[in-house]
Amino acid sequence: MSDTPLPSVATTSVRDRPLPEAVRRLARRHHPRVYEALPWLLATAGYFAFPDYRQLGAQVFIAILFALATDLILGYAGVITLGQAAFFGSGAYFCGILSAHGWSEPLSLLIAGAAAAAAVGFLSGFVVLRTTGLTQLMLTLIVAVMLGEAANKATGLTGGANGLQGMEIAPIFGVFELDLYGRTAYCYCLVLLFLGWLAVRTLIYSPFGRSLTGIRESEARMRAIGSPVFRRRLTAYVISAALCGVAGALLAETTQLVALDTLSFERSGAVVIMLIIGGVGRLYGAFLGVPIYMILQDRFAQADPTYWYFWIGVFLLLIVLFARGGIIGLVERGARLIRPRRRSVSTPGSENIG
Amino acid sequence: MVAEPPPPDNAAKQDFALETRGLERSFGALAVTRNVDFRLEQGARHALIGPNGAGKTTFINLVTGALKPSAGRILLGGSDVTALPQEQRVKRGLARTFQINTLYRGLSVLENVCLAIGERLGSGGRLFRPAGSHREVLLSAYALLERLRLADDASRLVRELPYGRQRLLEIAVALGLEPKVLLLDEPAAGVPSAESGIIIEVIESLPADLALLIIEHDMDLVFRLARRVTVLVQGTIMLEGTPREIAGDARVRDVYLGEREHR
Amino acid sequence: MTDAVSAVVSIGFHGVAFAMVLYLISVGLGVTMGLMGFVNLAHGVFAAAGGYVMTTLFNDEGVPFPLAVAIAAILVGSVSIVLERALYRRFYGGDELDQVLLTIAIVFIAIAGAKYIWGSEQAPMHPPHYLAGQIELGGRDFPAYRTFIIGAGAVLVTLLWLGLDRTRLGAKIRAAVDNRRMAQSVGINTSGLFSFTFALGTGLAALGGALGAEILPVFPGYPLDNLIFFLIVVAVGGLGTIRGPFFAALLLGVADTAFKYLLPEFGSFFIYALTLVILLVRPRGLFGQIGRA
Ligand SMILES: Nc1ncnc2c1ncn2[C@@H]1O[C@H](COP(=O)(O)OP(=O)(O)OP(=O)(O)O)[C@@H](O)[C@H]1O
Ligand SMILES: [Mg+2]
């Protein structure tokens, strides 16, 4: 055995050689891959291929943005939440209320929605993130339910059960009017989804994002290496909330209506289910999970209007028993069977699910 | 022996690397740490031994801040850190390993070390530039892995790593923090000889000014690595001395070795 | 003045009755969380099942009320063992997200099943004739059935606590709930213990669901609609305790009754706010152990 110098001194030697393979691989990990263009190409093609479905397309993009934002704290920071609608709804209502009072510029309304949701995230984060497990889950639920009750009661402001009406949205950049056919809405939501995706992608490959993954993988170790775990989680919580708020505000702007269901448990639950179907903690889980869930729900509801959630339940049971990691998890396992080597890492952000 | 501990009266003058005063902790009715006054000198090579369930791991958890003491004080380099959260203590140079591997099992070996080094260099919370372009972190991490003969496994996921190599990585992650006080919780227990050789070698080549506290059951290892030994029994310090004194003590053999033969 | 007094008495009375039901239902949820490390969002399913079985037997089959309640509890408890062995067990101590997904799936299936078998209406609950109407206590009239719930609840809680305190099995469960690590290291057969404890918890939930059908009406959406209450009781009471949730249930039952009486238009808003405040101050609940951190 050689007399290798001490760790603090040893760092000179690697520098003089070409980068080792392992280092190069990590250094390259955030580089874009070819297939990452796929969703955007599909979405662009969708605009022309299905002109009648542009309104629906816009809603799907909003749902994906919502799921993407949720994944940041569910999949990366490992906070089990059943209350993401709190942020979605806060964004939607704040945007809607401002707009009903005459503030009609859409981009600033998005920012306002994001800010409102971030504030809710910051405040509730102090309670929610100090707890774990069942208590944490219950608290996320409570925050959303409380906001729901408040919105239901404050009829003067929110319109209560009738929903908030009378929103006025000016054309985007003063040029693109939100039309009935969803032409503008489709593009608007797609661009914002793209920006949101860019933000989330940047975040998960940043040291901050890696430390979130670290917290999820082992909180005890994360503390032992001196990471301020609570602050990191809170930051993630607030960022996620802000993005959820953008999604909510987008919904308000494109539908020009805000209803209580933006704050509902159904919405919170559905987004988690969508993510699990697609694959939690995987950048593209939201892109797969949301459309699949929407299609399934539509199909089941058509085939069996009274008992459709029975089939959803069965489907979820199958996922949790046989397809942990969701669709992307399955794809990864398939890929590993084909290329059974230890270079198992395939999709971005996915290498870290246990 | 040369390094007699100074009498308690002068204690205030000399700053110990680590000191506890009247440390207490209980779980429900179970008192696991009882009135522990412990001192780790600068540059110490100190072993903590004691039968199973004596409270050794709990002691480390208290010192690092993973657990809150029911009573007592903890001093790092002379200043009171009892109220400080764990991360602040790490920033002051306190690092530990875990008795039960506590690693990022779904991340690669290299990234496990990168996270620690990133935290030390203060880049752990950066939001924008990709982790992969923090070249300094990557290279330091890789160099550390080379030193621990882990470089060949750098890209492997931790959960695919054999146990012995995971134990090595435990140490690598702690060393990535460049600690002034290092607490090792049974680093070589159950490790195959190939890796335990590396572990011993690494421990022997630690900087002379680093204060080391190692929990270890293997008396041969204790003899080899430690200059002082503290015996913990049922949460209290029974005895402290040189390895030779400890090995020669009848009470220690009774309590400690007797227990070991039971298993 | 007398109005205020009778309001206080009435709130206390109905609050305690509600609390008994809440505790019977929730105690098992806390135990599965503390003992098996399992987040069981489907716990309300067992309470609803108890309510359905009891009302069916009692209303449709003419089974005497006490017998119908007992059968409901025993039946649900035993059937739940099958679920525990087939599904729950695989996820003990595992990823919480998997547990959440599994139990949400069970809830969905159960809601659809209940709707299929019993329809979407509320299961009718008329107390047996000897518990109908009012009884007089200390110069006041009280609904007889709720008085019975309080009495029955008190007896059951006492039996449960005595059972846990005085029997070997109880000692094992207590030891395991207090300190799972220790219980395993002293060689308690946790597998059998888990099954039994799970069945005990679901059986009690069924009992609570059956007795409480008049307070918490049984309908298909029951497991989801009441979930938050059950979770609050456990979280506020403190995980890993058996008595904590009892006091949390009392607090919640009385406070909820009071708020609904005084500020009916605000629903449960204040209960949620109260819960937030309690958990902000004591993240581990009122009676939670200092535990690990
Ligand atoms: N989180 C906890 N909750 C309850 N009891 C605990 C906890 N941690 C440790 N204990 C108990 O405290 C006692 C001391 O445990 P500890 O792990 O500190 O012992 P140890 O000296 O490290 O033993 P070993 O040699 O087996 O590692 C044991 O009885 C253990 O069961
Ligand atoms: Mg130990």
Q: Which residue's CA is the closest to the ligand 1 atom numbered 28? A: B53
Closest atom, ligand 1, to C-alpha of B217: 25
Q: Which long-range contacts (CB under 8 A, 24 or more apart) does B260-263 make?
A: B260/B51, B260/B217, B263/B52
Q: In this predicted structure, which of A201-205, C125-129, C197-201, C228-232 has the lowest mean pLDDT?
A: C125-129
* Residue with CA closest to ligand 1 atom 9: B58
Give the pLDDT score at A302.
87
Q: Does A341 touch chain B (CB under 8 A)?
A: no
> And the tokens for A54?
């542009």
Do residues B161 and B212 both lie within one domain?
Answer: no
8 A C-beta contact, residue B106 and residue B78: no
Same domain for B83 and B183, yes or no, is yes
- Give, in order, the Cα–Cα distances in Å from A273 to each of A268, A307, B97, B259: 9, 18, 37, 52
Which residue's C-alpha comes closest to atom 25 of ligand 1?
A: B52
When pLDDT is cut at 50, 70 and 90, the band that residue B190 belongs to is: confident
Q: What's the mean per-residue pLDDT of chain B?
A: 87
Q: Do B185 and B256 sit in the same domain of this protein?
A: yes
**CB spacing of C293 vs B28 below 8 angstroms:** no
Q: Rounded to an integer, what distance in angstroms lies between the CA atom of residue B214 and that of residue B222?
A: 8
CA of B37 to the centre of ligand 2 (A): 19
pLDDT tens sequence for chain A (354 residues): 444 444 444 445 666 777 888 888 888 888 888 888 898 999 888 888 888 888 888 999 999 999 999 999 999 988 999 999 999 999 999 999 999 888 888 899 999 999 999 999 999 999 899 988 888 999 999 999 999 999 988 888 888 788 888 888 777 787 777 777 778 889 899 999 999 999 999 999 999 999 999 999 999 999 999 999 999 999 999 999 999 999 999 999 998 889 999 999 999 999 999 999 999 988 899 999 999 999 888 888 888 888 888 998 999 999 988 888 888 888 888 887 876 554 444 344 444 433
Asked whether residue B7 is assigned to any structural domain, the reply reads no
Query: Which of A132, A138, A155, A314 has the most C C-beta neighbours within 10 Å, making it the best mutation to test the interface with C?
Result: A138
Confidence band, pLDDT 50/70/90 cuts, at residue C268? confident
- Mean pLDDT of all residues in B97-107: 92
What angle is formed at CA C96 by the lines to CA C90 and CA C101, rounded to 5 degrees?
75
- Counting as contact any 3 or more CB pairs under 8 A, the partners of A are B, C
Query: How would you write B173-236 as a 3-class SS string?
Result: HHHCCCCCEEEEECCCCCCCHHHHHHHHHHHHCCCCCCEEEEECCCHHHHHHHCCEEEEEECCE
pLDDT at C51 over 80: yes
pLDDT of residue B116 exceeding 90, the answer is yes
| Rounded CA separation A295/A286 (Å) | 14
Does the predicted model carry a pTM greater than 0.80? yes
Cβ-Cβ contacts under 8 Å, A218 against chain B: 102-105
Which is it for strands B211-215 and B181-185: parallel, antiparallel or unpaired? parallel
A and B: number of Cβ contacts within 8 A: 188
Check whether residue B40 and residue B170 sit in a common domain: no
DSSP assignments along A72-134, one per residue: IIIIIS----S-THHHHHHHHHHHHHHHHTT---HHHHHHHHHHHHHHHHHHHHHHHTTS-HH
Looking at residue C222, its pLDDT comes to: 93
Coil/strand/helix, residue A255: helix
C97 lies within 8 A of chain B by CB? no
> Does residue B5 have a pLDDT over 90?
no
Question: Any CB–CB contact under 8 A between B91 and chain C?
Answer: no
Q: What pLDDT does A220 receive? A: 93
Q: Which one has a higher pLDDT value, A138 or C266?
A: A138
Nearest-Cα distance to chain A for B116, in Å, is 5
Q: Which residue has the higher pLDDT, C106 or A163?
A: C106
| B70 lies in the same domain as B141 | no
Which of B23, B48, B56, B183 has the most ligand 1 atoms within 8 A of CB, as the residue to mutate?
Answer: B56
Domains of chain B: total: 2
Yes or no, beta carbons of B131 and A206 under 8 Å apart: yes
| Ligand 1 mean position, distance from CA B263 (Å) | 17
Of residues A227, B199, B172, the one with CA closest to residue A216: A227
Residue B4 domain flag: no
User: What pLDDT sits at residue C129?
Assistant: 84
Residue keyed to tokens 């707890």 = A131
Q: Are C213 and C48 in contact (CB under 8 A)?
A: no
Res B134: pLDDT: 84
Domain count of the fold of chain A: 1
- At B198-211, the pLDDT tens digits run 999 999 999 999 99
Evaluate if residue C32 carries a pLDDT over 90.
no
Instruction: Please give the residue range of the domain that contains residue B62.
Output: 17-93+179-194+207-263
Contacts across the A-C interface (CB distance below 8 Å) = 120
- Cα of B26 to ligand 1 centre, how many Å? 10
Cα A184 from chain centre: 23
Q: Phi and psi dihedrals of A237, rounded to 5?
A: -60, -45
Q: Which chain C residue lies closest to B65 (C-alpha atoms)?
A: C293
CATH of the domain at B218: 3.40.50.300
C290 in reach of chain B (CB within 8 A)? yes
For B:193-252, CB contacts with A below 8 A are 197-198, 201, 205-207
Nearest-CA neighbor of C204 among C27, C19, C85? Answer: C27
How far is Cα C201 from Cα C223, in angstroms, rounded to an integer? 15
Looking at the DSSP bridge assignments, the partners of residue B239 are B231
Contact B239, B252 (CB under 8 A): yes
Residues B241, B54, B216: CA angle, nearest 5 degrees: 55
Query: What's the CA gap between B240 and A54, in Å, rounded?
Result: 77
Residue holding tokens 């009135």?
Answer: B35
Instruction: Mark whether B130 and B255 lie in a shared domain.
Output: no
Best CA proximity match to B72, nearest among B29, B109, B27, B20: B20
Rounded mean pLDDT, B103-116: 94
In a domain, A278, yes or no: no
User: Does B188 lie in the same domain as B68?
Assistant: yes
Question: Structural domain of residue A174, as residue ranges?
Answer: 45-263
B166 shares a domain with B184: no
DSSP labels, C212-271: GGGTS---TTHHHHTHHHHHHHHHHH-TT-SSHHHHHHHHHHHHHHHHHHH-GGGTTHHH
